[in-house]
Homo-oligomer: A and B are copies of this chain.
Amino acid sequence: MSAGKKEKRLVSIGPRPFAGLAPVFWVGTYDSRNRANIMTAAMGGLCCLHPPCLSVSVDTSSWTHGAISERRAFTVSIPDQSLVREFDFCGLVSGRDEDKFSALGLTPGVGEHVDAPYVEECPVVIELLLRHSLPLGSHTQFVGEIMDVKIRPECLNSDLVPEPEALRSFCFYPMSGEYYDLGRFLARAFAVGKTLGSFYGK
């Protein structure tokens, strides 16, 4: 077997919930007592461009599951690295038992377009109206239509495009249970591929 062949060898680890790195989201809702709550989520992301939609998967037994179903609205606040401890804390306690905003000294912002609170300290906030609820087993996937994106002004360039490095995001790795920060710029999309295949020499 050549070295090249050996490099390609893969081993099976079975039907495990692993798909590499995942973005991290705080899902904001008002609960049945009208209290602002946030849930730590690491299963979600954009799922449609027109209309712009975002999905997030929520454990059916969680406090947030009931809140999204009742209010049909939620927010996503994306923390920066300075908030990694606070983010992790919210995955360890339930809004049933604890006022997480108060425990962490975070500020609940009032949604401008939807009936849900957000985390004012985050550099990115997304307001969503619930469009679909898809029960999948342990989790329900909630699909929300994006009503607005709010960003800290110093994280935008002059074209009002978010600058990845300024957002100081981090991501989550399932199975190993680790947070990693964003690395260095690698390449420009819809561009770097033009040096290959049918584009080659054009």
Q: Interface of A with B (CB < 8 Å)?
A: 7-23, 25, 42-55, 57, 76, 78, 81, 84-93, 98, 100, 103-104, 107, 109, 112, 120-121, 124-126, 131-132, 134, 136-139, 141, 143, 145-153, 156-157, 160-164, 167, 169-199
Query: Top 6 closest A-B pairs, CB basis?
Result: A88-B193, A89-B193, A103-B197, A181-B183, A183-B183, A48-B136
A179 touching B183, Cβ below 8 Å? no
Q: Which B residues touch A57, using CB under 8 A?
A: 46-48
Give the CA-CA distance A185 to B84 in the complex, in Å: 12
**How many copies of this chain sit in the oligomeric assembly?**
2
Chain B residues with Cβ under 8 A from A192's Cβ?
84-85, 88, 179
A182 touches B180 (CB 8 A): yes
Return chain B residues, CB-CB under 8 Å to A53: 136-137
Known: A10-B120, A186-B179. A19 touches B76 (CB 8 A): yes
Contact of A50 among B137, B152, B167 (CB under 8 A): B137
CB-defined contacts of A190 to chain B, threshold 8 Å: 88, 91-92, 177
Which chain B residues border A152 with CB–CB below 8 Å? 7, 9-11
Measured between alpha carbons, how far is A164 from B19 in the docked complex, in Å?
11
**A197 touches which of B89, B132, B164 (Cβ 8 Å):** B89
A150 B13 Cβ-Cβ under 8 A: yes
CB pair B148 A15 closer than 8 Å: yes
Since A17-B146, A91-B190, A178-B185 are in contact, a sample of 6 more A-B pairs with Cβ atoms closer than 8 Å, ordered by chain A residue number, is A20-B23, A21-B169, A45-B45, A84-B186, A178-B186, A178-B187
Given contacts A15-B146, A15-B149, contact A161 B176 (CB under 8 A): yes
Given contacts A45-B43, A46-B174, A88-B191, contact A13 B186 (CB under 8 A): no
Set B16, B47, B164, B199: member contacting A173, Cβ < 8 A: B164
Question: How far is it, in angstroms, between the C-alpha of A13 and the C-alpha of B173 when the chains are bound?
Answer: 29
